Amino acid sequence: MGGTSRRIDKGKGRKIVVGMSGGVDSTATLILLKENGWKPIGVSLKFSVWEDESNLNQNPCCTVDSIQRAKEICNKFECEHHILDITDEFQKNVINYFVDSMKKSQTPNPCMVCNRNTKFQQLINFADSKRIKYVATGHYAKIVKSRKYNSLFISHSNDETKDQTYNLSLLPQEWLERIIFPLGEMTKSEVYKMVRKKGLGFYEKILQSQDFCFVSEKSLDSFIEKEIGNNNGDIVDKNGKVLGNHKGLQYYTIGQRKKIGLAGGPYYVIKKDISKNEIIVSTDKKDLGKTEILLSDVFFSNKDFYGKKIKVKSKIRYQQKSSSAELFPINEINKEYKIVFREPKIGVTPGQYCVFYIRNLCVGSGVIT
């Protein structure tokens, strides 16, 4: 499928807003743009975090130290630096969404929602306030112009292990016209090599982001207990036989194997019955397989895809390989679709996103119901 990737070598002194987390990727992005004739303006977003004594292991990208590091990097390379306090917006758009999804016994994807409703929205708003057209971030992805569809799409990066197209699948066409991903042509090892040559070898000793940025994985159960509460119920097998007890559906996700607490396993969570407050488990992993999945809130970056039956490659998790499937519109007004896979997908999880690809182009996504 023909297409051309947007390049970064034609800055010609133009200003560009760069999302600066203080991590190695945003730093490399700023350096690349600077060296290719752009005039980068660093913008660090101050997110809210769960303020609890148990949440001591904050994500490295969201600390006071990381924002200070971003400021120092901007000073080193003679770039403006701004800090935007968006704690209220982040609480509303990301943390509240996360909690609401958990209360519905779904498995939320806060990174996906944050990229669309908070992170890129705030960077675009800032750029608009300064009359700047372009925005850049350190994501591993490309933006490609497709001749066939006459529109822009997110496309795979050169580093398959770091590719972030999945979490960028909700970005609209009007934003793609303004966004640049300088790291799309690089691998992570090349990024480290480049910053090391710039005297920034300390990045190799800094932990990379792993957890949700507002709560650490170690503190997640405490977060759920304090923000949502417990609701004890039964763990049953496929025949309804009670095998044990759980403290709340929100602590479990479809496909989960660990922390179920049953002898004689391993057991897999194959279903959560909200009406009965039951966890259904099985020792047979095949019970997790589904070929047909219902989707809501389906989004396409090209409006011409709406309302049509489409053959795609698709995946239901960030690091999963995509596989062949077909999309069918069910209720176009409510943006409801059905996707049918050739082979069963393991661990289909309500609340997570199913992302669609046509060859190397990420064309959209929908929420698994």
- Tens of pLDDT, residue by residue over 281-297, are 999 999 999 999 999 99
pLDDT at 65 over 60: yes
Interval 173-191 mean pLDDT: 97
DSSP assignment string, 233-289: EEEE-TT--EEEEES-GGG--TT--TT---TT---EEEEEETTTTEEEEES-GGGGE
**Looking up tokens 């182009």, which residue turns up?**
361
**Does residue 79 have an active-site annotation?**
no
Over its C-alpha atoms, the chain yields an Rg (Å, rounded) of 22
More confident residue, 251 or 212: 251
pLDDT at 4 (0 to 100): 54
In this structure, of 60-64, 99-103, 312-316, 364-368, the range with the lowest mean pLDDT score is 60-64
Which one of the listed residues 62, 74, 79, 213 is annotated catalytic? Answer: 213
Token readout for 209 is 């982001």
Residue 42 pLDDT class (50, 70, 90 cuts): very high
Residue 329 pLDDT class (50, 70, 90 cuts): very high
- Best CA proximity match to 26, nearest among 154, 110, 140, 197: 140
Q: Is 358 helix (H, G, I), strand (E, B) or coil?
A: strand
Question: How far is Cα 247 from Cα 338, in angstroms, rounded to an integer?
Answer: 33
Domains, the chain, with CATH or none = 3-214 (3.40.50.620), 230-283 (2.30.30.280), 288-368 (2.40.30.10)
pLDDT digits (tens, 9 = 90+) for 188-237: 999 999 999 999 999 998 877 666 788 888 889 999 999 999 999 999 99
Interval 285-310 mean pLDDT: 96
**Does residue 114 have an active-site annotation?**
yes
pLDDT at 63 (0 to 100): 77
Which one of the listed residues 61, 79, 114, 362 is annotated catalytic? Answer: 114
pLDDT at 3 over 60: no
Question: How far is Cα 267 from Cα 258, in angstroms, rounded to an integer?
Answer: 8
